[in-house]
Structure 1
Amino acid sequence: MIKSQWYAVLDSKEVKKGRLTGATRMSQKLVFWRDSGGQIHCIFDKCCHRGASLSAGKLVDGAVECPFHGFQYETTGKVVLIPANGMNAEVPDNFKVNSYLAKEAYGLVWIWYGEDRENVPEIPFFQELKSGFFYGGFSETWPVHYSRAIENQLDVVHLPFVHKTTIGRGNRTLVNGPVVKWQDNLMTFYVKNQTDRGQSPEKPGEILDYEKLFSLQFQMPNLWQNVISPNFRIVAIFAPIDEENTHIYIRSYRKGKLPLLFNWISDFVGNVGNKVILHQDRRVVITQIPKKTELSMKENLIQGDLPIIEYRKRREKLKSKSERQRDC
């Protein structure tokens, strides 16, 4: 995982008021909860006393109470009460667990995966989806590293083979470009796949008026968007569980609120279609070796893999940058 980044890790609805929510993210067992004002907090889900899971406990006056011996933790991860020592006993500084800075935005729970909490940037999200859109969706877990799951959504070559009966109909096996453009850490890539009639694919620099082509976007470190139309988008959030598993949230965004029944029908139909397409991908992606991708691997990449190559380069650049900052 890339340090010093905001990661979307949960759907906001998964963290309910008055309850603890346990989840493994970033290879760490974590517990999330809301305070009385609704703000989300996150600490490590392992009591510093005897290693019990804190998410199996409960909230007591805003503090997380361990189910084993009643130790209570505040939002920073520090123990504020050891019942066996008495309510007025001072708690030593070493009685604490790590915590993450957590925030809620755009219907998602985010954690800042970094050490510096004073100079964190704005939470990244697709600008046009910040308001005016409604969404519905579903989620599921894949047994792959999040980089594999992401790269599948950057792969424009696989469509006529993996999705022959759905979005890959038309036998457009020839891949022109694709054209890849960056704006800060937002990648937009433009797709021009065609039926192979013996012509050579155009290189990225040879494609004219590429802005008019079908496009997709990827926002580092773990958000993807399929720009189907100005009023309809598909978004995927790749929440890293650990080095071998990823929880994927799929959302359909649309403009214009429909009556409740039509909203439900629209979401249901959209989810069915998205699941069919996603499971076509899953069948192949879970077979890829290794489960995690790197900048340099024993692969023979082709021109059509440009979005994947660009993603790997940017990921490596951000990893190196965060490592340099940590060493300073």
Structure 2
Amino acid sequence: MRESLDAFLSAVEVFGERIADVRLLPLLLGIALHLLNSALRTVAWRNIIAAAYPATRVRWRHVFGAYMAGTAANTIMPARAGDPLKLFLLHGRVAGSTYPTLAATLLVESIVDFLLASAMLLWAWQTGLLPLPDLPSLPTFEIGWIVGHPWVLGLVAAVAAAAILWSGTHIRNFWARVQLGFAILRQPWRYLWSVALVQVGSWIARVGGGWAFLEAFHVPGSLKVAILVQVVSSVATSLPATPGGVGPKQALLVIVLAGEAARSNLLAFSVGMDVAVIAVNLIVGGACLVLMRGSLRLRPGAGQRAADPEVPPTPG
């Protein structure tokens, strides 16, 4: 962690020295593609929610506002603390919705992300472009104490069984609501055209945005390098210690992209891209949060209003 912090501070210093050299047009293109990525992701999420609540009108602008507000929170708080904010804002906008169902739709929304990110990560490892970490030897789990005290297992099993029997109805209701969030997966063709293909489009915009940011900071862009940027971002954001993986991301980018450009350009890029994306997320997400929270205060019963007629989910 200390090495990551040092790398981040060094990158910030270099970025400050080279900010006047940033190419404006590629920077604006990168920002536009970042917003397009967010818009397409929310189209897909909106369609997942609409499938869970077919009798309710789910507006894309509400989903977009909740998503951007939560994304803004994620940029300043670690461990994806902004995701509950997304659910809270949507809960007040989707009539009859429940938190377990909305949370399940987020899981469905992450399927394509997981598959594509895993494929890119595997490609980077197989080609040697991403170095494998040196994992420390982990201690073996000791079960000798449990074997010597079998009554502990019996007690735990008895308590668990009693809890399940006592709360069986609540658990069944909870899982019924969770399963509702996976409704679109029971309609494969609808999932393919209204979710998966839209998310593939969002990833194309995401990779294209990374390419544009590379050019903005004088790092020669290519499909290979742009994909590597996404791989590093995925690895770094999986670490909950810092918001958006800031610190580890900068350190890893300089290592992985070594030889693609001068070290000073790589340092400036590693910070500059994050600064641009974070600024956009905070501005757009903050505006969405203010608008949605103000509207919720004016209409406190929004979550309990009668369901509107079903609206077929369309990517537009």
Higher relative contact order (CA 8 A, sep 6+): 2
Q: TM-score range by the shorter chain?
A: under 0.3
TM-score (norm 2): 0.22
Q: TM-score, normalised by structure 1?
A: 0.22
